[in-house]
Amino acid sequence: MSALMSLTKLLTRDTLQEITPENLEATVRRSSRNGLAPKRLQYSPEHETPKKKRKTKAVAENGSQNKQPKDEEDAENSDVEHAPEGYGRLSAYELERLENIRQNQAFLSSINLFQATEEFKQLTRPKPSQRGLTRAHAAVKEVVPPRKSLRLQKKEAEVLELPPEPRGTLIYEQSSPAKKPSGPLPMDPVNVEEGSKLPPQLLELCSEDVKEDKKIQLDLKGYRSSLKNMKVNEDKVAKVVKDRIFSATFHPCTSSLLLAAGDKWGKVGLWKLGGDWGDDGVLLFEPHTRPVGCMAFSKSHPTQLLSLSYDGSLRCMDVEKAVFDDVYDIEDGLKTFDFMSHDCSTLVVGNWYGEVAIVDRRTPGNSHESLHTLDPKTLRCVNVHPLQKEYFVVAESKIYDTSTLTTKSPLLTTIRHDMQTGRWLTKLSAVWDPKQEDCFVVGSMMKPRRVQVFHESGQLQHSFMDSENLSTVLSVTAFHPTRNALLGGNASGRLHVFSD
């Protein structure tokens, strides 16, 4: 036991002697980072950095190591080196890394890679069409002198007195502009010089005699083939109204494509593809002050376009008279309408409160003949039976079979489709193709952006897509009554036309 304690004391004494401050520096092992250096990508042989030499110990033939002076050995094995000014004390590895980054950036700059990358991004990003209405020039801001603190100028602050409290009833201004006055409004375009008359070609085009040929409904294979031939290009996209499109339709003429659109703030735009009047064939009018929720050309009088607005007004744009006539007027809240007679003289009009009104245009004034209350939750649109005009249906969603007009229509099918447009996009609406009565078109929220055509059974027939000319959601869609043409309107006031 005593021998073991003596050996322990001896080992402790020897150990303490070895780690005294005098020989502490000699006993600490320093890292020399002798491991393999990481591989680095060199972009150019002209900027190649010198490889770091691996430190090895020279061994003599007799096996003894060549000793170096202490200062040189410490300098070689030390991790910390004196860095250039501004870098502080960095290790050799960090200095080498910074030098590689600097040389790589210099090489990329010499070949203009950064500039080419930005130019490529600009080229690949689709730009909106510049055809149609031009953007208004921004108002020049008034240059005012900089504001200075009275405290820093050692001046006393001015004493301001509050104005006296108003007496009586306070009248708050409405957030939307005032409603247009009742009575006929002149049909004066706002995007042409003041006092300019309507182009005579517009009246000629609207007065075109449209002969309704007997409809020949294609089989689905032939119908899909006709859809594939309909394309869009730069000339078929134009800004027709200033704000979000709420409704749009085709004129029934066939010699040219004439379209109409209504926007969020009551403006109505007419656009003739390839036209030379207005802005690239666009004429803009202001008959309403709130969203134009529904519009349609009269089939019996093609020079008349009826437009309905949320502000409570239903007007008739008569190109022959060059006025917007009053048809029906309430305080506010009109939603939708449809023609109830073949001569388009009788209308069924629905409002936001679940009521439908029967309006006869032949009766003097702008009131209804009768008013009927329905369920407000289902009144999203009204549609009159194409043959039996005394019947109409109101609907919110899905597809129903109304051929028998029973109290409860049987459900044909349900199609899974994303309808969540949010508050900044117009609600998606499905519209039947008048040339193919068992198929309909609807916008889509899918990316890449598209417009889809479905059969009544729910089978997808075709998706209209174009990476260069279609990059937004087309909420409002409609087919031409006789030609192979489809329109789509977006939230920026632009119309897209797919045609053969």
Query: Is domain 287-420 annotated with CATH 3.40.50.10440?
Result: no
Q: What is the pLDDT of residue 21?
A: 43
Q: pLDDT tens digits, residue range 321-365? A: 999 999 999 988 899 999 988 899 999 998 888 888 999 999 998
Q: What is the pLDDT of residue 50?
A: 46
The dihedrals phi and psi of 383, each to the nearest 5 degrees, come to: -145, 130
The residues of the chain that CATH labels 2.130.10.10 are 287-420
pLDDT of amino acid 120: 72
Return the pLDDT at 71: 45
Q: What is the pLDDT of residue 473?
A: 95
DSSP state of 142: P
Place of tokens 């690239």: 280
Sign of the CA dihedral running 235, 240, 245, 250: negative
Token digits for 327? 């048809």
Which tokens sit at 326? 């009053």
pLDDT of residue 110: 86
Count of other CB atoms within 10 angstroms of residue 313: 26
pLDDT along the chain (500 residues), means of 10: 42 42 43 46 44 42 43 44 58 91 88 76 71 64 74 82 62 62 93 89 90 73 96 96 96 95 97 93 96 94 96 96 95 90 90 88 90 72 70 60 54 74 86 89 93 92 95 95 95 96
Residue 91, amino acid: S
488: which 2 tokens? 């789509």
Sign of CA dihedral 410, 412, 414, 417: negative
pLDDT in the model for residue 362: 92
